[in-house]
Chain A
Amino acid sequence: MSNGTPLLAVEELSVVFGGRGSDEVRAVDGVSFTLNEGKVTGLVGESGCGKSVTSLALMGLLPSRGVRIGGSAVMRLPEGETDLLRLPARRMRDLRGSQLAMIFQDPLSSLNPVVPIGVQVTEILRRHRRMGGSAAAKEAAVLLDRVGIPDPTRRLREYPHQLSGGMRQRALIAMAVACRPRVMIADEPTTALDVTIQAQILELLKELVTEEGTALLMITHDLGVVAGLCDDINVLYAGRAVESAPRGPLFAEPAHPYTIGLLGSVPRLDAPRGEPLTPIRGSVNDNIAWTDGCAFAPRCDRYAAECLEGPPPLVPAGDGHTHRCVDPAEEETE
Chain B
Amino acid sequence: MLRFLVRRTLQLIPTLGGLSILLFVWLQRLPGGPEYALLPDDATPEQREQMRRSLGLEEPIAVQYLTFLRRILQGDLGTSLQTGRPVLEEFLTRFPATFELSVTAMAIAVSVGLPLGYLAARRRGGVLDFAAVGGSLLGICTPVFFLAFVLKVVFSEGLGLFPSAFRLSPGLSRTELSGFVVLDGLRTGELDVVWDALLHLALPGVALASIPLAVIVRMTRASVLEVLDEDYVRTADAKGLHRSTVRTRHVMRNAMLPVVTSIGLLTGSLFAGAVLTESVFAFPGIGSFVYVATQTRDYPVLTGFILVIAAMYVLINLLVDISYSLLDPRVRAQ
Contact = CB atoms under 8 A, between A and B. Distances in A.
Nearest to B328: A114
Contact of B237 (A96, A109, A119): A96
B255 to A, nearest CB: 11
B241 interface: yes
B187 interface: no
The listed residue with most B CB atoms (<10 A of its CB), out of A94, A112, A159, is A112
Nearest to B333: A161
B127 interface: no
A104 B245 contact: no
Contact of B241 (A92, A109, A123, A159): A123
Interface string B291-321: 0000000000000000000000000000000
B327 A123 contact: no
B234 interface: yes
Contacts of B7: none
Given A93-B240, A97-B241, A127-B240, A110 B330 contact: no
Given A106-B231, A112-B249, A114-B253, A161 B239 contact: no
A98 B240 contact: yes
B239 A175 contact: yes
B129 to A, nearest CB: 14
Given A96-B239, A159-B329, A161-B333, A113 B232 contact: yes
Interface string B226-257: 00001110111111111101000110011001
A161 B330 contact: yes
A110 B237 CA distance: 11
Contact of A115 (B238, B243, B253, B333): B253
B241 A94 contact: no
Contact of B235 (A93, A95, A104, A119): A104
Contact of A123 (B230, B231, B245): B245
Contacts, number: 83
A90 B263 CA distance: 35
A172 B241 contact: no
Contact of B327 (A101, A106, A114, A172): A114
B231 A95 contact: no
Binding site secondary structure of chain B: helix
Contacts of B230: 109
A104 B231 contact: yes
Q: How extensive is the interface on chain A, given as a class?
A: 20 to 34
Contact of B231 (A92, A109, A119): A109
Contacts of B235: 104, 110-112, 172, 175
Contact of B239 (A106, A113, A127, A159): A127
A113 B253 CA distance: 10
Q: How extensive is the interface on chain B, given as a class?
A: 20 to 34
Contacts of A116: 329
Interface in A154-172: 159, 161-162, 172
A109 B245 contact: no
Binding site secondary structure of chain A: mixed
Contact of B249 (A59, A97, A115): A115
Given A61-B234, A109-B230, A112-B250, A97 B329 contact: no
A102 interface: yes
B330 A113 contact: yes
A159 B232 CA distance: 13
Contact of B245 (A98, A127, A128): A127
Contact of A104 (B234, B242, B249, B328): B234
Interface string B79-123: 000000000000000000000000000000000000000000000
A144 interface: no
A95 B239 CA distance: 9
Contacts of B333: 161-162
A124 interface: yes
Contacts of B232: 109-113
B231 A159 contact: no
Nearest to A90: B243
Nearest to A113: B330
Nearest to B331: A114
Contacts of A161: 329-330, 333
Contacts of A115: 249-250, 253
Nearest to B125: A65
Nearest to A56: B234
Given A114-B329, A115-B249, A123-B245, A59 B239 contact: no
A112 B236 contact: yes
Interface string A106-135: 100111111110010001100110000000
19 contacts: A59-B238, A61-B234, A92-B240, A94-B240, A95-B240, A96-B237, A96-B238, A97-B241, A104-B235, A115-B253, A123-B239, A124-B239, A127-B240, A127-B242, A161-B329, A161-B330, A162-B333, A172-B235, A175-B239
Interface of A: 59, 61, 92-98, 101-102, 104, 106, 109-116, 119, 123-124, 127-128, 159, 161-162, 172, 175
Given A95-B240, A102-B238, 16 more contacts: A59-B238, A92-B240, A104-B235, A109-B230, A110-B231, A111-B232, A112-B253, A113-B329, A114-B328, A114-B329, A115-B249, A124-B239, A127-B241, A161-B333, A162-B333, A175-B235
Task: List the 4 closest pairs (A to B, CB-CB), nearest first.
Answer: A97-B240, A96-B240, A97-B239, A109-B231
